[in-house]
Amino acid sequence: MLDFRTETFLAVCRHMNYTKAAEELNITQPAVSQHIKYIEEYYGIKVFGFNGKKMFLTEEGKMLFEAISTMKHNDKFLRDTVKNLKNKGTALSFGATLTIGEYVIPEKLSAYLKKHPDSKVHLTIANTKQLLEMLDKGEIDFAVVEGYFEKNRYDHIICSQENYTALCHPCHPFAEKHMLLEELFSQTLILREEGSGTREILKRSLEEKNFGIWDFKNVIELSNINAVKTLAENGCGITFLYEATVKQELQKGTLKKIYADDLISQHEFTFIWRKNSIFSDYYKTIYENLINTAL
């Protein structure tokens, strides 16, 4: 059970503002100041610094934030686990990015539930950025993501290496051609929203060559994979997706590959949880039972 003053510390970290933290917690600003002072005296460190009026976490403050965030999640997970043991069931509260949540997890989850029919499952499907935020807040226990993340902040297991490719209408002049990314800038780009893993891979491929997404002639942003595929199938532009999401379209010939030779052509699907969690062994067991199983 965490000290109430740690909740004040986390609230200040979220807002980087004592007044907003006080409003969130429904306490006075002097109380917030007292709580932070207590924490600094207890640990013998300064947790916040100021650059003019702008507040920032010190290096010691960052370390404390990571530790307390993990401790808070461990506490919640322990309470939930004990409750589920009492009810003779297990619970999975986790997240998956859109590609994984739609094209990978359903079959694996079905196989898991056949073996563990009494399990309670709460699955959140969102983009990588949103899932990392939920993981940090303790709203989910683990996540399976396709996007980039700070590996020093999370323990992780690589699930697979997945092919990533450029795609277009079968009658597009670039279909089945070998091209450089720069040669595709004359096209309309159809892509996922900010924070998605598929977008981040393209963004990093472009940044390595000092280009950006907005170098394309036009950009259409969508938060739904099927909508992205439909527009590409209808010749509205080119897109970049994992091959796992377009197996049927490639087989039917409604989409064709563009062989972008300087594109990051593979990326990891990764199982992640809070770093240094006391439940790491349990998460590894979940990974073996839920993710690392043959269908």
Higher pLDDT, 88 or 289: 289
- Please give the pLDDT value at position 86: 52
- Please give the pLDDT value at position 255: 97
Give the chain's mean pLDDT.
89
Residue range 176-205: mean pLDDT, rounded: 94
| 166 and 250 fall within a common domain | yes
Task: Determine whether 198 is exposed, middle or buried from the number of CB atoms within 10 Å of its CB (0-12, 13-18, 19+).
Answer: buried
| 179 and 194 fall within a common domain | yes
Residue range 199-225: mean pLDDT, rounded: 94
Report how far residue 45's alpha carbon sits from residue 62's, in angstroms, rounded to the nearest whole number: 11
- Please give the pLDDT value at position 75: 74
- Give the long-range contacts of residues 198-203, CB within 8 A, separation 24 or more: 198/99, 198/146, 198/164, 198/240, 198/241, 198/242, 200/128, 200/147, 200/148, 201/147, 201/164, 201/240, 201/264, 201/267, 202/240, 202/263
Q: Which of 67, 84, 117 is the last residue of a domain?
A: 67
| 192 and 253 fall within a common domain | yes
The candidate with the shortest Cα–Cα distance to 101, out of 222, 223, 200, is 223
- Please give the pLDDT value at position 243: 93
Task: Name, in order, each residue with C-beta under 8 angstroms of 253's C-beta and a sequence gap of 6 or more.
Answer: 170
Residue range 164-173: mean pLDDT, rounded: 97
Higher pLDDT, 199 or 276: 199
Residue 178: strand pairing partners: 259
| 134 and 175 fall within a common domain | no
| 166 and 263 fall within a common domain | yes
Residue 292 has pLDDT above 70, yes or no: yes
| 202 and 243 fall within a common domain | yes
Residue 62 has pLDDT above 70, yes or no: yes
CATH number, domain containing residue 171: 3.40.190.10
- In this predicted structure, which of 8-12, 80-84, 151-155, 172-176 has the lowest mean pLDDT? 80-84
- Please give the pLDDT value at position 174: 97
| 139 and 281 fall within a common domain | yes
Report how far residue 23's alpha carbon sits from residue 50's, in angstroms, rounded to the nearest whole number: 21
| 196 and 222 fall within a common domain | yes
Q: Which of 48, 67, 86 is the last residue of a domain?
A: 67
Q: Pairing mode, if any, of strands 256-260 and 154-168?
A: antiparallel
Q: Which two tokens stand for residue 147?
A: 């996007």
Residue 50: φ, ψ to 5°:
-130, 135
Run of H or E including 96: strand 91-96
Percent of the chain with pLDDT over 70: 94
- In this predicted structure, which of 12-26, 237-251, 273-287 has the lowest mean pLDDT? 273-287
| 216 and 237 fall within a common domain | yes
Run of H or E including 269: strand 266-274
Residue range 240-248: mean pLDDT, rounded: 94
| 141 and 118 fall within a common domain | yes
Residue 82 has pLDDT above 90, yes or no: no
Q: Do the beta carbons of residue 201 and residue 164 sit within 8 Å?
A: yes
pLDDT digits (tens, 9 = 90+) for 260-291: 999 998 899 999 998 888 888 888 988 998 88
Q: Which two tokens stand for residue 252?
A: 């039917």
| 134 and 177 fall within a common domain | no
Q: Do the beta carbons of residue 167 and residue 234 sit within 8 Å?
A: no
- Please give the pLDDT value at position 201: 92
Scanning the chain, the segments in alpha helix (DSSP H) are: 4-15, 18-25, 29-43, 59-86, 98-103, 105-115, 128-137, 197-207, 225-233, 247-252, 280-286
- Please give the pLDDT value at position 18: 92
Q: Do the beta carbons of residue 62 and residue 150 sit within 8 Å?
A: no
Q: Do the beta carbons of residue 166 and residue 258 sit within 8 Å?
A: yes
Residue 78 has pLDDT above 80, yes or no: no
**CA-to-CA separations, 78 to 75, 141, 147, 210, 282, in angstroms, rounded:** 5, 11, 28, 47, 11
CATH number, domain containing residue 35: 1.10.10.10
Domain residues for the domain of 167 are 161-267
In the chain, % helix, strand, coil (3-state, to 5) comes to 45, 25, 30
pTM above 0.85, yes or no: no
Q: With cut-offs at 50, 70 and 90, classify the pLDDT of residue 295.
A: very low
End-to-end C-alpha distance for the chain, whole angstroms: 40
The candidate with the shortest Cα–Cα distance to 205, out of 267, 253, 272, 291, is 267
Residue 18: φ, ψ to 5°:
-65, -40
pLDDT digits (tens, 9 = 90+) for 101-136: 988 899 999 998 998 888 889 999 998 889 998 988
Total structural domains within the chain: 3
| 252 and 284 fall within a common domain | no
Q: Which of 67, 88, 116 is the last residue of a domain?
A: 67
Q: With cut-offs at 50, 70 and 90, classify the pLDDT of residue 85.
A: low
